Amino acid sequence: MTTPLSTLTDAELAARCRAGDSDAWNELVERFSRYIYAICSKGFRLRDEDAEDVFQEVFTRVYTHLDRLRDDSALRPWIAQLTRRLCLDSIARGTREQPEAEPVADEERSEIEEIDEAFAVREAVTTLPEACQEILDRFFARDQSYRTISAELDIPAGTIASRIARCLRKLREELEGRSEPSTGSRE
């Protein structure tokens, strides 16, 4: 008798996906789809099309990099961190890019661009008020829950999401301000 895939732990599911079990992969996608989309749309308030792009990119990276996951029981936090990082990348880019504008053929260049974007985001975060830096660091870098942040900062849990959204809006404004040329016209 086979164990239903829905009863597998995340660690068991990751191991079966790594072994090439396509049914396990389908279960992984089913299990994490709403979770990823919630992070994109509710946590970061991305536009639907941007959330869909992040959603697809998360699963692409999970599929191609699952073998790099050292601890299968860390699948959920790994996916959450990956989703958050890609959401921040989407915010850093601002408006949607045209897919035809630049082919993704040069993997080395896209890695360099990814690193540049990460540095730009980190630098922009340092310009935010200290309270924003603290809450964004706790939520994204330390992967703390609203409840933990609430307890440690003595802020009502219901306030955490709105503060994160407000800080992300400030971060987006800072990043957009940096990307606009100081003189000349846009083409």
Q: What does the domain layout of the chain look like in residue ranges?
A: 1-76, 107-180
Lowest-confidence range among 15-19, 37-41, 69-73, 99-103?
99-103
pLDDT digits (tens, 9 = 90+) for 67-112: 998 899 899 999 999 999 999 888 888 744 434 444 445 555 566 6
> Which CATH code fits 107-180?
1.10.10.10
Give the fold, CATH level 3, of 1-76.
Answer: Rna Polymerase Sigma Factor; Chain: A (1.10.1740)
> Residue 145 is which amino acid?
S
Q: How confident is the model at residue 148 (pLDDT cuts 50, 70, 90)?
A: confident
- pLDDT exceeds 60 at position 23: yes
Between 116 and 48, the more confident residue is 48
Dihedral over alpha carbons 118, 110, 56, 85 (to 10 degrees): -10
Residue 124: per-residue pLDDT: 84
Residue 2: per-residue pLDDT: 65
- pLDDT exceeds 80 at position 119: no
Q: Closest Cα to residue 42, out of 165, 168, 169?
A: 165
DSSP 75-119: HHHHHHHHHHHHHHHHHHH-SPPPTTTS-S--HHHHHHHHHHHHH
Q: What is the spatial distance between Cα 183 and Cα 176, in angstroms, rounded to a whole number?
A: 15
Residues 6 or more apart whose CB falls under 8 angstroms from that of 135 comprise: 149, 153, 160, 163, 164, 167
Helix (H) / strand (E) containing 20 = none
**pTM here?**
0.52
% the chain with pLDDT above 70: 82
Q: Which two tokens stand for residue 55?
A: 């959603």
Residue 180: per-residue pLDDT: 58
Residue 104: per-residue pLDDT: 46
